[in-house]
Amino acid sequence: MLLEIKDLHVSYGAIRALKGVSVQVGEGEIVALIGANGAGKTTTLRTASGLIRPQSGDITYKGKSLIKMPPHQIVSMGISQIPEGRKVFTRMTVLENLEMGAYIRKDKDNVKADIRNIFQRFPRLEERKHQLSGTLSGGEQQMLAMGRALMSQPNLLLMDEPSMGLAPMLVQEIFTIIKEINQTGTTILLVEQNAHMALSIANRAYVLETGEVVLAGPAQELANDPQVQKAYLGE
């Protein structure tokens, strides 16, 4: 397994956010975490990124434990996170945001080529490359957040609510891009409230409820599960 989350326990003060969560992500997969607000999806990603320290449990990447590693070291190992709410640097231009994504890289000559690749994937970003990112639309900011994360050349991309606040037409476009990114060889762990869309592109999925995994399996099987349909797909 590329990423293994084993029996993870996380608390915020007296609140137990994760109660023994275990998730596996294989090389080349898209794995989705679905569930209601407050189920522990974002906490799982933030712990994998090194932003939160767990009480117990382990997270291994290529067999190596990440638990005591600082976030910048986790990024240098090939894991990049696209945070919820996009979190672009609003007072920097589109181009500067992309350059920040390559901050830890030593191969500066290849960075320019990668920026060109990002602009090929997201032509709208090229049109606005000298524009302050705070002036972009929500969809454009999401594209920029994705482009910035790809600039660190991740092997594993952690995506937190990529469709949040976007118009339905844009949601479709963003999910098409996520699939394309995966097809070029990047493994994806996806947190998404739009369960329909998440299950339509994922290989496997986990359903979280109040900090615990209550269901797991192939994405298509979960999409057809009456329990999942009733709770998350509005059917």
pLDDT value at 93 more than 90: yes
pLDDT value at 191 more than 70: yes
**Among all chains, which residue has been given the structure tokens 């109660």?**
19
Which tens digits make up the pLDDT trace of 170-185? 888 889 989 999 999 9
User: Higher pLDDT residue, 218 or 107?
Assistant: 218
Mean residue pLDDT across the chain? 91
Q: Which of 10-19, 103-112, 130-139 has the lowest mean pLDDT?
A: 103-112
Boundaries of every domain in the chain = 3-232
Which positions ≥6 away from 60 have C-beta within 8 Å? Answer: 1, 3, 4, 6, 66
As given in the structure block, the two tokens for residue 120 are: 């090929």
Q: For 3-232, which CATH superfamily applies? A: P-loop containing nucleotide triphosphate hydrolases (3.40.50.300)
Confidence of residue 111 (pLDDT cuts 50, 70, 90): confident
Say what the pTM is. Answer: 0.90
Q: How large is the average pLDDT for residues 94-109?
A: 83
Which tens digits make up the pLDDT trace of 219-229? 999 999 998 99
Q: How large is the average pLDDT for residues 80-87?
A: 81
Which tens digits make up the pLDDT trace of 25-74? 999 999 999 998 889 999 999 999 999 999 999 999 999 999 999 998 99
Residues 119, 125 contacting (CB under 8 angstroms): yes
Q: How large is the average pLDDT for residues 155-165?
A: 91
pLDDT of residue 235: 56
- Strand 30-34 to strand 204-209: parallel, antiparallel, or no bridges (unpaired)? parallel
How far apart CA 144 and CA 152 sit, in angstroms, is 13
Q: How large is the average pLDDT for residues 3-32?
A: 96
Which positions ≥6 away from 25 have C-beta within 8 Å? Answer: 1, 2, 3, 4, 31, 156, 187, 189
Residues 30, 188 contacting (CB under 8 angstroms): yes
How far apart CA 11 and CA 13 sit, in angstroms, is 6
